[in-house]
Amino acid sequence: MTRHFLVDTDLTQAEQAEVLDLADALKKDRWKYQPYAGEGSGRQTVAVIFDKTSTRTRISFAAGISDLGGVPLIIGAGESQLGHKESISDTAKVMERMVSTIVWRTYAQSGLEEMAANSSVPVINALSDDYHPCQLLADLMTIREHKGTLAGLTLTYLGDCANNMANSYLLAGVTAGMHVRVAGPVGYLPDPAIVDAAAARAEETGGSVMITTDAAEALASADVVATDTWVSMGQEDEKAARQELFRDYAVDSAAMAQAAQDAVVLHCLPAYRGYEISADVIDGPQSVVWEEAENRLHAQKALMVWLMARSGLTGIPEEA
Ligand code: CP
Ligand code: NVA
């Protein structure tokens, strides 16, 4: 059965740990696995499609696919027939015959689901309106490097709790057995369906979920503090209103004083200093954002190796 990665909960707790172990191994030995080379999958090309702009995701996938012996085929918005002249399902049926994996940054989660339903090669969500699961693999890898473990830690996310990063922090965090707290203003809290899914996964892993409008309640003794832009891609028209709306949920030195003394700070980037995070915090000693950005490379390579193996397209790596 082909394995896809469309949402954080597509991996169980044990599978998520396998991917993170593989990521650690690939960080130590960049060339350890070559699933896309020579006798690997038999198809060297990996399609990477962007309907929205990107720096980290684009570069980390391009570099990572090369490291894995593959050739990245980057397709920018409007450069293919996809979405305007041709359906998603027809596009998938063409691509699955030519490429090893399909990576797609897009708007609607339903588009990714349609692509996956019509593809015999793995489909990876490189960010949708609803989730950013590849980012969370990098974030969890970074937390584990600093804290030695994930299960039992408290992760607090402040700001726009109705966006893709908040949803992925909830789902990936509880999958790892973490206590995930999110705090934002009324009207910008997570969809109840996401909260239910996170609570159900937390039941299995020993994690927990807290949804609140009280930043102080969420921050108390947190081990990890995270935030994201208040203005996600596609919301540019709401910029002024949003910069006002989330003001009480900024990650600044006053917020950090309420977290654990050794708390680390995450931000998926790009960051807007003086809005969701202050310059002294993101550029200060508790920030691990540059390692977090680098870990996109290692975590996504691990994910690609793992999906290829678990889809029966290549051999199983020793860490899995
Ligand atoms: N964090 C992240 O996904 O960055 P890009 O939008 O630059 O890819
Ligand atoms: N929430 C942000 C994440 C960017 C990586 C957005 O969707 O624009």
Question: What pLDDT is stored for residue 272 in this prediction?
Answer: 97
How far is C-alpha 200 from the geometric centre of its chain's CA atoms? 20
pLDDT of 39 above 80: no
Q: What is the pLDDT of residues 58-76, one digit of tens each?
A: 999 999 999 999 999 999 9
Q: What values do phi and psi take at 23, rounded to 5? A: -65, -40
Per the CB < 8 A criterion, the answer to whether 8 and 169 are in contact is: no
**Averaged over 151-179, what is the pLDDT?**
99
Residue found under tokens 């793995």: 122
Q: Is 271 in the pocket of ligand 2 (CB under 6 A)?
A: no
Q: Is 91 in the pocket of ligand 1 (CB under 6 A)?
A: no
ipTM of predicted complex: 0.99
Mutate to test the pocket of ligand 2, among 54, 268, 296 (most ligand atoms within 8 A of CB): 268
Instruction: Tell me, in angstroms, the distance from the centre of ligand 2 to residue 127's CA.
Output: 8
Does the annotation place 256 within a ligand binding site? no
**Averaged over 42-52, what is the pLDDT?**
95
pTM exceeding the 0.95 threshold for the entire prediction:
yes
Q: What is the pLDDT of residues 227-281, one digit of tens each?
A: 999 999 999 999 999 999 999 999 999 999 999 999 999 999 999 999 999 999 9
Q: What values do phi and psi take at 234, rounded to 5? A: 100, -10
Query: Which ligand 1 atom is the nearest neighbour of the CA of 57?
Result: 8
pLDDT of 316 above 90: no
What is the C-alpha separation between 96 and 80, in angstroms, rounded?
A: 16
